[in-house]
Structure 1
């Protein structure tokens, strides 16, 4: 059953308000403040998002949705490897800007297994698109699997979460992209 239009608008406003609040004040911004910014009552916030972790995850997922939606366009404009490199750079920016929500996201994505699997399946699907296109255009090695790349990506993101250096995260992801490049001697 689809949510009512006003309920969907309220959820979208809450996600937008939370995104801005988390970026400005970290993950400790009072939920009451987020509800006020969104123009709804605290009860409405809790109806949509039973806790801070649910709200942080919704913010992350909405931005991930936008990032994943752009995969086909990226692939259509350049080689699969170059598209993957651009996507990884954008993903690094998404992860870096979520540092303020790190505690809430870590707890959410690491503790709720079903939720985590949905998120990583979506990321795996995006990575599979790059790999599939790379097998066609010859820019990505044949032995690369999307699930392996997703595991490496999660490890890089976890390691980089201890650093405030986005350039380090970008360098690490560039190393990952270089590792999947098809050798010119193949």
Structure 2
């Protein structure tokens, strides 16, 4: 949803927004952020006018996709903690975060373009992911699944570094590297 919206949209408008966000995420991942608006609207099953009604500028759509993906990933942390042992919850969340980073690759040119429209996004990233990962790390360390003293910021940066594109490799490679990092977190853990 656009960040400047003041009231909740009607149910049909909410469905259109959700469809546009999913379509844009998919199209941005394959064609980049400069893909034609018609391609996004067609995939969402709406008209181009509907896309521009909800997201008047391309930057509005890019920011909304980024925030939507950040929120979905951050919001998964409490559900994972409730459903799994702490170490497993952490591992599953880091897998989800790795997937988030893979989808962000399509957004990277816009996010790093220097456009002031995107200036607030790095802070939003840390505001949402820091506490989510912090709760997972704390629970896993208290349970003895990982060593203590790992900061959310350090781990977020480490995983992001491991997920940089490698020529000839895809997301499966990044997942293997993150699995190695998780194994390293287990070293020195005490129950």
What's 1:40 paired with? 47
What's 1:178 paired with? 183
What's 1:169 paired with? 174
What pairs with 1:9-24 in structure 2 (closer than 5 Å)? 9-24=15-30
State the shift of 1:47 in Å.
Answer: 4.6
Q: Verify the 8 A CA contact 1:92 1:169 in the aligned structure 2.
A: yes
What pairs with 1:1-186 in structure 2 (closer than 5 Å)? 1-5=6-10, 7-38=13-44, 39-42=46-49, 44-107=50-113, 112-157=118-163, 160-163=164-167, 164-181=169-186, 183-184=188-189
Q: Verify the 8 A CA contact 2:41 2:47 in the aligned structure 1.
A: yes
TM-score w.r.t. structure 2 length? 0.75
Deviates more, 1:44-53 or 1:26-35: 44-53
In structure 1, runs of 5+ residues without a counterpart are: none
Q: Verify the 8 A CA contact 2:146 2:190 in the aligned structure 1.
A: no
Superposed CA RMSD in Å reads: 3.1
In structure 2, runs of 5+ residues without a counterpart are: 1-5
Residues 84 and 106 (structure 1), Cα distance of their counterparts in 2 relative to 1, 3 Å cut: farther
State the shift of 1:118 in Å.
Answer: 0.8
State the shift of 1:133 in Å.
Answer: 0.7
Q: Verify the 8 A CA contact 1:14 1:45 in the aligned structure 2.
A: yes
Q: Verify the 8 A CA contact 1:57 1:108 in the aligned structure 2.
A: no
State the shift of 1:89 in Å.
Answer: 1.7
State the shift of 1:111 in Å.
Answer: 7.6
State the shift of 1:12 in Å.
Answer: 2.3
TM-score w.r.t. structure 1 length? 0.77
